[in-house]
């Protein structure tokens, strides 16, 4: 290091060592030791690789629901709050990164003073006035010799990354909530229409029974029983209307608008198409589900915090310097003879702190282990969620088909019993049983259809929403 002054040479040597040793204590993220299956147990072997698209809700082919989905993505307050949180995390990362750079500050001052004009003998000899001007720059830099500040920055950056995935988790939850509420609206409308049709059917039967009672072929008990059936059908409508209103209110909240300004037309679940979606490979789920990515980032942040906490056991090297100009005359303030400077290098080694540093290190180690186990559970839960959704789609599809057969048989039985009632050959008990069976079967059918649609929504949520399209490599790519 010829040509360098002794302080500069010492500073250069320290910087070289710091750059080579600063990352020695940085830890790698621990291996979660996950057992990733080759395929999902509930997936069909012949399923084509067709993961959900980014706008997965379009697969249901409902224009109104698509409009609600797109509106929720831009105005939902939970999503907006999540965006604000990752902006906070970005700012915290910038704050943490400031420790890796020197701090520099400038100052200027004018000092005016006057000495006393009285001597020790009590004589007045005249005071003296002094004016002093100064301008200086101060710099301070902590050598990140053990990587403490670098690890702190990495922890803050990983936290910021995790906050972005947290926003994706909130967005996915919001979108699935919109789909769920919208399908609940359709189901309520379908069930209300069916209940009104059943009320009309029960009223026709009641009129026929009253005619038989007037002609003497029926009894007052027959009339009372049918009135009870009709009353039950009427009583079923108010709860359905309440459910309808509650889900419209839920949609209004999800799109951040008052209920009075939201108009949901709805329609029927019969108008909703069933999307075709396959789960892909379990290994792909690790890069698609935002909650898994969030836990992964939090684990990386905790690992960096362990490295930063370990570095606190070692000495802290601080360099400070100050230089500038000082003069009693403003015109000569920036002359060479008015310059001054100072350079100080300090080293601080913790000796005894009552176990504070050790406790902080052990705390960060335990936090890392907690997040490691949470990450593993999140991954395993993700596989379970996909399998549960696939099973649900399979079983609800079977139940829906069987329930349609039940409704068809129940409707035929009720029509025959009503014909016999009008012909005067029907047993009243048979008529009562067939109409109650039909009414219940039709309501269960709508609930089964709703369960099937919600199963598809659950699969989309389990898969992490929409997936980025795969990039096909050119055949002749170099």
Whether the pLDDT of residue 331 is over 80: the answer is no
Structural element, H or E, at residue 131 = strand 129-143
User: In angstroms, what CA-CA distances link 45 with 162, 387, 417?
Assistant: 34, 14, 47
- The 10 Å Cβ neighbour count of residue 244 is 20
Greatest mean pLDDT among 15-19, 59-63, 214-218, 468-472:
59-63
Structure tokens at 180: 């769920």
* pLDDT band (50, 70, 90) for residue 374: very high
What local confidence, expressed as pLDDT, does residue 120 receive? 58
What local confidence, expressed as pLDDT, does residue 317 receive? 85
In the three-class reduction of DSSP (H, G, I as helix; E, B as strand; rest coil), residue 446 is classed as helix
What local confidence, expressed as pLDDT, does residue 477 receive? 40
| Contact predicate 448/399, CB 8 Å | yes
Q: What is the pLDDT of residues 19-69, one digit of tens each?
A: 434 444 456 778 887 888 888 888 776 555 567 888 999 999 999 999 999
What local confidence, expressed as pLDDT, does residue 119 receive? 59
Q: What is the pLDDT of residues 153-194, one digit of tens each?
A: 989 999 999 999 999 999 999 999 999 999 999 999 999 999
Whether the pLDDT of residue 391 is over 90: the answer is yes
Q: In what order do the strands lie in the sheet with 103-114?
A: 103-114, 129-143, 316-327, 339-348
Could you tell me whether strands 339-348 and 316-327 are parallel, antiparallel, or unpaired per DSSP bridges? antiparallel
Whether the pLDDT of residue 474 is over 50: the answer is no
CA–CA dist 318, 212 (Å, integer): 104
**CATH class label, 28-103+130-462:** mainly alpha
Q: What residues contact residue 405 under an 8 Å CB cut-off, 6+ apart?
A: none
Q: What residues contact residue 427 under an 8 Å CB cut-off, 6+ apart?
A: none
In the three-class reduction of DSSP (H, G, I as helix; E, B as strand; rest coil), residue 140 is classed as strand
Whether the pLDDT of residue 362 is over 70: the answer is yes
CA–CA dist 210, 422 (Å, integer): 11
Give the residue-averaged pLDDT of 418-445.
90
Q: What is the pLDDT of residues 230-261, one digit of tens each?
A: 999 999 999 999 999 999 999 999 999 999 99
Least confident of 22-36, 68-82, 263-277, 281-295: 22-36
What local confidence, expressed as pLDDT, does residue 443 receive? 95
* pLDDT band (50, 70, 90) for residue 475: very low
Helices (H), 216-315: 220-235, 237-254, 282-288, 290-311
What local confidence, expressed as pLDDT, does residue 321 receive? 86
Nearest alpha carbon to residue 183 among 269, 265, 248: 269
Q: What is the pLDDT of residues 123-149, one digit of tens each?
A: 556 567 778 888 888 988 888 878 888
In the three-class reduction of DSSP (H, G, I as helix; E, B as strand; rest coil), residue 165 is classed as helix
Give the residue-averaged pLDDT of 442-456.
97
Least confident of 2-6, 230-234, 293-297, 458-462: 2-6
Whether the pLDDT of residue 3 is over 80: the answer is no
| Contact predicate 338/400, CB 8 Å | no
Domain edges within the chain: 28-103+130-462
What local confidence, expressed as pLDDT, does residue 24 receive? 43
Query: Which is more confidently placed, 52 or 330?
Result: 52
Nearest alpha carbon to residue 38 among 280, 277, 291: 280
What local confidence, expressed as pLDDT, does residue 449 receive? 97
What local confidence, expressed as pLDDT, does residue 40 receive? 85
DSSP label at 46?
Answer: T
CA–CA dist 156, 100 (Å, integer): 13
Q: Work out the mean pLDDT of the chain and round it to a whole number.
A: 86
């Amino acid at each position: 290091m010829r040509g360098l002054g002794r302080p500069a040479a010492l500073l250069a040597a320290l910087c070289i060592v710091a750059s080579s040793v600063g990352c020695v204590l940085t830890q790698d993220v621990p291996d979660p030791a996950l057992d990733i299956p080759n395929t999902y147990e509930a997936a069909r072997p012949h399923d084509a690789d067709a993961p959900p698209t980014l706008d997965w809700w379009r697969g249901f082919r409902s224009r109104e629901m698509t409009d609600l989905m797109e509106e929720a993505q831009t105005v939902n307050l939970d999503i907006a709050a999540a965006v604000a949180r990752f902006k906070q995390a970005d700012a915290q990362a910038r704050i943490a990164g400031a420790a890796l750079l020197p701090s520099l500050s400038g100052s200027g001052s004018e000092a005016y003073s006057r000495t006393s004009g009285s001597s020790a003998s009590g004589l007045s000899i005249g005071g003296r006035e002094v004016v002093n001007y100064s301008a200086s720059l101060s710099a301070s830099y902590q050598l990140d010799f053990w990587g403490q500040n670098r690890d702190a920055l990495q922890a803050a950056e990983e936290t910021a990354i995790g906050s972005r995935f947290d926003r994706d988790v909130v967005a996915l939850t919001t979108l699935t909530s919109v789909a769920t509420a919208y399908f609940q609206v359709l189901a309520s409308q379908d069930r209300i229409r069916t209940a009104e049709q059943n009320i009309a059917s029960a009223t026709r039967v009641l009129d026929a029974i009253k005619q038989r009672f007037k002609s003497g072929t029926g009894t007052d008990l027959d009339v009372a029983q049918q009135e009870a059936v009709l009353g039950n059908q009427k009583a079923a409508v108010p709860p359905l209307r309440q459910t309808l209103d509650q889900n419209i209110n839920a949609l209004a909240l999800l799109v951040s608008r008052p209920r009075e300004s939201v108009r949901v037309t709805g329609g029927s679940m019969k108008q909703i198409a069933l999307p075709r979606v396959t789960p892909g490979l379990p290994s792909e789920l690790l890069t698609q589900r935002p909650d898994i990515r969030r836990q992964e980032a939090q684990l990386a942040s905790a690992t960096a915090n362990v490295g930063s906490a370990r570095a606190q056991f070692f000495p802290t090297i601080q360099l400070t310097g100050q230089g500038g100009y000082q003069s009693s005359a403003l015109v000569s303030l920036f002359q060479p003879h008015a310059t001054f400077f100072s350079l100080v290098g300090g080293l601080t080694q913790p000796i005894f702190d009552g176990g504070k540093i050790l406790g902080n290190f052990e705390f960060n180690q335990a936090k890392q282990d907690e997040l490691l186990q949470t990450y593993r559970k999140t991954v395993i839960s993700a596989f379970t969620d996909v399998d549960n959704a696939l099973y649900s789609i399979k079983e609800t599809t079977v139940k829906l088909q069987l329930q349609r057969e039940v409704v068809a048989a129940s409707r035929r039985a009720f029509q025959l019993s009503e014909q016999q009632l009008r012909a005067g050959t029907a047993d009243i008990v048979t008529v009562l049983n067939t109409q109650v069976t039909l009414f219940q079967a039709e309501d269960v059918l709508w609930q089964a259809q709703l369960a099937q649609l919600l199963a598809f929504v659950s699969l989309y949520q389990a898969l992490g929403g929409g997936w980025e399209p795969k990039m096909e490599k050119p055949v002749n790519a170099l």
